[in-house]
Amino acid sequence: MSFSIKEIITLNQLFGVGSKLLYQVEKQQGDTLLQRLSACHVFIKENGRNISIEQRHISQAEQQAEWILQQSQAQNIRLLSYYDDNFPTSLKMITNIKGEPDHPFLLYYKGDLSALHYPCVAIVGTRHPSVQGKRASHYLAEQFAKEELCIVSGLALGCDSYGHQGALSVGGRTIAFLAHGLDTIFPPENRRLAQNIINNKGLLLSEYPIGTPFSKYNFISRDRLQAGMSLATIVIQTGTEGGTMHVANATLNAGKKLFVCHFNDEVTRNAIITQGNKLLAQQGAIYLKGSDDLHLIANSIKGNSR
């Protein structure tokens, strides 16, 4: 049984974005949220105790949801529901490592929604790339954007920024998944880049309502959306831990192609910020070299959308 947009926001205010509870409540029958929640035997913490959900809790959350809707409209933030016809199929298919549904129910966005329906490739990597890493990120984004692939990344400093910039430099489309509400931009250094993405038929996307600050958990959760949206992921440079590894592992778990840059320069290849590339190659990632036929690779990526 589907939710309205206001119901999704209400549930998010009660239990948090991405809560497994939404999947449970969706399966229940009932004319009201309280009836459907009661069927799940839901408890809520109040004054340090777990108590049964009551209508007053739902009413309070509904008031917060109405405020979020009003403020979003005032700041030109629009909403896309899982139940909308133009919600991308790729995001509907996201699962966790156990194979359980892990798709978003609601996305907040700014920009041109048609970008969602282009074949996408994620370009991700460390926030502190080497000179070679910066060049590789910008160059690969340029070349794949020329091949009419939409470049997906996370608007972070470093490889993400160079990926977005590379796509924009050739008039390509690019999508940024953010880990906070769209009333702010983090890092603030990328405010102009974010506006350039919007101005050039790109898209800013987030699961998080207005007023939500960034957090470590939000960044981790956001990473699955980058992998889910994309037909393949290209890792520029990464250590063995961090957000890039989350995107890479989500790509491998989904059975999608994962590429990692192979650098000719031995110093770059053996740097700490490139050791994740080696580890991912051992786990099944494909090395991407400067001599590779990028047109052929782009066609193979786009072929996965058919």
Boundaries of every domain in the chain: 1-74, 110-303
pLDDT at 16: 85
Look at domain 110-303 and name its CATH class: alpha beta
Stronger pLDDT, 212 or 305, i.e. the higher one: 212
pLDDT at 305: 62
Residue 187 amino acid letter? P
Mean pLDDT value across residues 12-21: 85
Q: What is the pLDDT of residues 255-295, one digit of tens each?
A: 999 999 999 999 999 999 999 999 999 999 999 998 899 99
Global pTM?
Answer: 0.94
Least confident of 17-26, 30-39, 108-117, 283-292: 17-26
Q: Would you place residue 81 in the very low, low, confident or very high pLDDT band (cuts 50, 70, 90)?
A: very high
Q: What is the pLDDT of residues 132-161, one digit of tens each?
A: 999 999 999 999 999 999 999 999 999 999
Q: What is the mean pLDDT of the chain?
A: 94
Q: What is the pLDDT of residues 171-192, one digit of tens each?
A: 999 999 999 999 999 999 999 9
Stronger pLDDT, 97 or 118, i.e. the higher one: 118
Q: Check whether 306 has a pLDDT greater than 70.
A: no
Q: What is the pLDDT of residues 226-248, one digit of tens each?
A: 999 999 999 999 999 988 999 99
Q: Would you place residue 95 in the very low, low, confident or very high pLDDT band (cuts 50, 70, 90)?
A: confident
Torsion from C-alpha of 228, 233, 235, 239, nearest 10 degrees: 30
Mean pLDDT value across residues 80-87: 96
Least confident of 42-51, 52-61, 188-197, 270-279: 42-51
Q: Would you place residue 44 in the very low, low, confident or very high pLDDT band (cuts 50, 70, 90)?
A: confident
